[in-house]
Chain A
Amino acid sequence: MKIIKKVMCFLLPVVVGLTLVGCAKRITDVSQLAGQKIRVRTVSALEAVTDEFIDNAQKEHREPFTDTEKSEIIDISQLNGRSIGVITGTVFDVMIDDAFENVRKEYFESYPDLIIALKQGKVSAFLTDEPVARLLCFEQDGIRYLEKYVSRDDYAFMFPKTENGAALRDCFNEFLAEIRANGTLNQIEDIWFGGGESVKNVTYPVSPDGAETLQFITNSDAAPFCYVKNEKIVGYDIDILCRFCEKYGYGLEISDAAMASLIPALVTGKADLAAGCIAVTEERAESVYFSDANYEGGVVAVVADENTAGDQLGFFEGLKESFYKNFIKENRWKILLSGLGITVLISVCSGIFGAVLGFGVCMLRRSQNKILGGIAAVYIRIMQGTPILVFLMILYYVIFGKSDISPVIVAIIGFSVNFSAYVSEIMRTGIEAVDKGQNEAALALGYTKTQSFFKIVFPQAARHFLPVIKGEFISLVKMTSIVGYITIQDLTKASDIIRSRTYEAFFPLIVTAVIYFVISWLLTVALSRIEIRLDPKKRQGQRKAAD
């Protein structure tokens, strides 16, 4: 242990020096962003590193902390050498490298996951913006944050790097300057960063007919900047945005996506602006324009707090409380319900279109024409070989990148196409399993090839392939849980939203799992009915039973 510390003492100055060189370079980069007020957070990261250095140097003479797992963390320097959680696609990722030594980064998708991991000791800390941290720690027992900033940060809105984007940004900056000057910004800050829930509300702009509608994209997992309350996206950033739209006569359409999707959405023209606790970084500034900062704060480390942890409530009381919090409070069940609706809509539509399309592909695949058959074969190969998530993102951000088609339709197209590839192969196997004699007998009776196929061969094939397609369809339903990636609020996303408000894993996840199970089961039952209708014997059996 001592040896390691000594080595670190030698190394640290070197690291600091290198960091400084890096900073100098970055600052020149940043300075090119004319008209933007950006304070460079790396300077404060450097402060942190230097503090740490001094801390370590002092500790050299004391007893080094023996068991890092157990000792209480009181300073960010104690996080060196531990594992730190980070949300994929956030600025904290690079910041950790700058601010800490020798840490292991664990990647998560959302705050609830992070908090659970923190409480369970899977990570020692995670970094987040101070306002978020304050709110998280206020709402959650068992966590607290370290007062000292890991770095300072500015938060701002993002705009696409186009002429329109620049114009909108300038307009927005003008608005910011105005509300800052007249004190409105301070009022808004007081509302959203204070404790009173009742005043935390936004009014969406009602735009006059024919007004331009702004496409706004955000990540609703960033309270108090941006989060879901009573099925509505609200928050500090949203409040400012709504006032802006109101003032300049814009309509507003809000979509919710993963953090990592925001910049792609701007770049591809899917959205006109984005926000949601977005720190200004030079890396991001390469792809988008930033507005002036609408919030200045810093990044802090959130750690587990043994003192406030532990349930005071009894088991059942706790469950009741938890159930209330997750589903009743703020009408959260309605989010689940509408998510469920979307999941069922996407599943059923994709199932139907996919089956129809699959039948078409199957016909092409079986056609005498070698070229058509080849095309179908290639289509099937490609679709079966592409992960559906990647395919959906390509559809949404590349193929339909420039059109403002609803993401639900994109999802239905994506899943239909994917499903069709599987369906066509399943159908083909089923059709080929029907004895050739059946077709010959039908032809010999005088049926044409087409009549024979639809009347004799296909119904018999259907009896072979329906059970397989049924299974494939159920897995399609479960696969739709990834549509959150293209800004759709399906069932899974709904449960993510609830978790991002309550920071609880148990109820949202279990209930979501149960709902998926129930949907699958109901759909299985529905498909089994069709199966029975196709099986003449079972059909007859039912008729007899009814008589």
Chain B
Amino acid sequence: MITIRGLKKEYPNITPLRNVNAEISKGDVISVIGPSGTGKSTLLRCINRLETPTSGDILIDGENVCDKKADLSRLRRKMGMVFQSFNLFGHMSIIENLMCAPMDLLGKSKTQAYERGMELLQTVGLAAKADSFPDELSGGQKQRVAIARALAMEPEILLFDEPTSALDPTMVGEVLSVIKRLADDGMTMLIVTHEMNFAKNVSNRVFYMDEGIIYEDGTPQQIFENPQNEKTRIFIKQLKVLSEIINQKNFDFPAINSRLEVFGRRQMMSQKQIYRMQLVFEEVVLQKLIHKGSIGEIRMDIEHSEREGSVNMIFEYNGEKYDLLGDEEELAVITLKGIAESIEYKYEGKKNHLILSI
């Protein structure tokens, strides 16, 4: 239904979309996720041509939106758009918001438009507010009206740009449930969202956007449970990362120790967790690896997942296979085993990998 090929969008000092390619079929419910500023909104706005792409093609039912001669107003009628900031028309009542475009653009009669409008308000549960004005509604209600307004044009696809980001947490649910119902009814939708659970449960596909491209495209299972790319994984797990490289014997131990402390504080870790992290670092690097000598470069990555409250410490070092946990009698090993919930060791590509979860 929509084919995007080599889409590029440049602004004078930033290029949010470098090369986007995608195929969207009828009935797809696609969640678009990714860090902010990676061009998710820009992608949506290019699809309905609120922005003019620098280059590339967007085909809607075979018709190229990027064509200079394209009848934008007709193409846009096929696509409904729901904005983060609702954008209801402030000078019209709710029902007028739903009636104006069908009457002006689809040639519906006033009665037809009114009846369809009321029907849609019924489905979003706001029929009672028909005669109110936008500024008399709560955020969640406004967004439901905005969805109904988009639906009033009988679009083939709905584009949502962070529909719940401007809402109080208490109102997110009512909007998401409306969207979910649309998904169940088979509506084709492209939803930019930060609601990971919603993305996981409602969509059949997920786009992870980063670095100006669709970095990873897959089913929710693939993206959420088994992301193929490191960046995707960090984003999905909402990991915060600290990396340190140690490449000489007399490295600045106190400096790294204090950076660990700062990182831990910033991540709101408990003092105990920070202490454990420092302890693992000292035992592994100082007691075992440096002590053994001639190790070369040691890389330490610390990943903190806020959601799961877990801290993973990953050590990577060169040289021949060396499982430093081999000597079970040693005090350092006993200490490490006491602290870590799980320890994993592997030797891959001439590199030792040691992963400790604490």
Contacts and interface: CB of A to CB of B under 8 A. Distances in A.
A445 B146 CA distance: 11
A441 B81 contact: yes
A438 B89 contact: yes
Contact of A448 (B73, B88, B96, B100): B73
Interface in B66-117: 73-74, 76-77, 79-81, 83, 85-93, 96, 100-101, 104-105
B338 to A, nearest CB: 57
A459 B91 CA distance: 7
Contacts of A446: 73-74, 76-77, 101, 105, 153
Contacts of A442: 89
A438 B87 contact: yes
Contacts of A437: 83, 85-87
A444 B50 contact: yes
B133 interface: yes
A536 interface: yes
A540 B74 contact: no
Given A435-B87, A438-B89, A455-B100, A445 B153 contact: yes
B48 A444 contact: yes
A542 to B, nearest CB: 14
Nearest to A439: B87
Interface string B138-175: 00000000100110010000000000000000000000
Contacts of B74: 446
B41 to A, nearest CB: 11
A540 B81 contact: no
Contacts of B91: 456, 459-460, 463, 534-536
Contacts of A540: 93, 131
B191 to A, nearest CB: 15
Contact of A445 (B93, B101, B131): B101
A438 B149 CA distance: 13
B104 A451 contact: yes
Nearest to B88: A441
B105 A440 contact: no
Contact of A441 (B79, B83, B131, B133): B83
A78 B48 CA distance: 90
A447 B85 contact: no
A442 B74 CA distance: 13
A463 B92 CA distance: 13
B48 A441 contact: no
Q: Which of A435, A444, A534, A537 has the most CB of B within 10 A?
A: A444
A443 interface: yes
Interface size on B, as a range, is: 20 to 34
B133 A444 contact: no
A127 B270 CA distance: 100
Contact of B133 (A447, A459, A537): A537
Interface string A419-458: 0000000000000000101101111111110010001100
Given A537-B133, A540-B131, A447 B90 contact: no
Given A441-B83, A441-B87, A447 B105 contact: yes
A443 B83 contact: no
A441 B150 CA distance: 9
Nearest to B131: A540
Contacts of B88: 441
Contacts of A536: 91-93, 96, 133
Contact of A444 (B81, B90, B100): B81
B192 to A, nearest CB: 14
Contacts of A435: 85, 87
A444 B76 contact: yes
A440 B79 CA distance: 13
B73 A447 contact: yes
Contacts of B77: 445-446
B151 to A, nearest CB: 11
A509 B93 CA distance: 50
Q: Which of B73, B79, B105 has the most CB of A within 10 A?
A: B73
A456 B50 contact: no
Contacts of B50: 440, 443-444
Given A445-B77, A446-B76, A440 B87 contact: yes
Given A437-B87, A438-B89, A536-B92, A445 B149 contact: yes
Contacts of B149: 445
A543 B89 CA distance: 21
Interface in B169-199: none
B91 to A, nearest CB: 5
A443 B101 CA distance: 10
Interface in A446-491: 446-448, 451, 455-456, 459-460, 463
Nearest to A463: B91
A76 to B, nearest CB: 73
A437 B161 CA distance: 13
Given A441-B81, A444-B48, A445-B76, A460 B90 contact: yes
Nearest to B79: A444
Contacts of B153: 445-446
B216 to A, nearest CB: 28
Contacts of A535: 91
Nearest to A534: B91
A456 B87 CA distance: 11
Given A438-B90, A536-B92, A447 B104 contact: yes
Interface of B: 48, 50, 73-74, 76-77, 79-81, 83, 85-93, 96, 100-101, 104-105, 131, 133, 146, 149-150, 153
12 contacts: A435-B87, A437-B85, A440-B87, A442-B89, A444-B79, A445-B76, A445-B101, A448-B73, A455-B100, A456-B89, A460-B91, A536-B91
Given A437-B85, A444-B76, 16 more contacts: A437-B87, A441-B87, A441-B146, A444-B48, A444-B50, A444-B81, A445-B101, A445-B150, A446-B73, A446-B76, A447-B104, A448-B73, A456-B89, A459-B91, A460-B91, A535-B91
The 5 closest A-B pairs by CB, nearest first: A441-B87, A446-B77, A437-B87, A444-B81, A445-B101
